[in-house]
Amino acid sequence: MDMLTSLRAPDTTLSFEFFPPKDEDSAEMLFKTVHELNQFHPSYVSVTYGAGGTTRERTRAVVQRIIREAQIPTIPHLTCIGHTRDEMTEILDRYAEDSVKTILALRGDPPRDQPNYDRSGDDFKYASDLVRFIKDHPHPFNIGVAGFPEGHPRTQNRLTEMDHFKAKVDEGADYICTQLFFDNHDFLDYRDRCALAGIDLPIVAGIMPITTHSSMKRMAELAEGSNFPAALLSVLQKAGTDKAAVRQAGIDYAIAQCQGLIQEGVAGLHLYTLNKSGATTEIVRNLNL
């Protein structure tokens, strides 16, 4: 069964996200994680892409190695910023050679060392431009796009946001993977609004467990507008300064969140692993997928 077929099947799929390692030691840790998580037979895994394409070669190397060693369908992320049409064609040609079947098409962020990056010269202004370009490539890639259950950070008007999202989907997207969220009501409302907009695609829920107080604060800074519901804050507060208790409270919350989504018939659960297997393993073992 291919990935898209499995996403439309009655059972909830499972997938994992990794990021390209910076050095050889980190690479070995990553692939140890990949092999440990392969025991759960994920429908696919994905590999992120650095801001402005800064991890282009490292992303491809990870994708190639996962396909070769673990034989898991692997989806590279690809972003608009900083790429010409010729560069994008070369990237897609190489992924076609690697037998990659699906691309996650994103707008992306400018390089962190260029906060005032001028996008006027970019060939791809929006993710919808990239989706259209990938769709026109001779290799028949499936295409995923990002969804935002809590709202897109750059679009405060939720009606306009859905219009823009519908335009992106209509360019040829095949499935949706959401940004992380902590309140299932946000996801379910988003799924309903997609249906009202005539969007009939599988929607995969992005889940990340909070395992430290510092990671939550860092997430709040990076993900503008993130909603940390009182139920989550309460269990973390009760754990106090006990690091093991905080970690367990965050994992238990994520397990409950996933169980609730499964009961609501979510197409898939996509776990952000941070290249570590511990918390992810504990969550998956409690889901009986």
Query: Which pair of structure tokens corresponds to residue 129?
Result: 């431009």
In the annotation, is 36 catalytic?
no
Written as one letter, the residue type at 275 is N
Q: Long-range contacts of range 52-56, CB-CB < 8 Å, 24 or more positions apart?
A: 52/79, 52/81, 52/82, 52/108, 52/109, 52/110, 52/111, 52/114, 52/117, 53/79, 53/81, 53/82, 53/83, 53/108, 54/111, 55/19, 55/20, 56/91
Q: For residue 263, what are its two tokens?
A: 């009961």
**Ramachandran sector of residue 33 (left: φ over 0; alpha: ψ -120 to 50; beta: rest):** alpha
Rounded Cα–Cα distance for residues 14 and 194 (Å):
22
In one-letter notation, the amino acid at residue 273 is: T
CA-based nearest residue to 119, from 148, 83, 147, 90: 83
Q: In whole angstroms, how far apart are CA 130 and each of 48, 110, 268?
A: 16, 16, 24
Rounded to an integer, what distance in angstroms lies between the CA atom of residue 222 and that of residue 236?
Answer: 20
Nearest to 172 by CA among 143, 204, 196: 143
Q: Which candidate in 17, 36, 90, 171 is catalytic? A: 17
| β-bridge pairing 44-47 and 13-18 | parallel
Catalytic site positions: 17
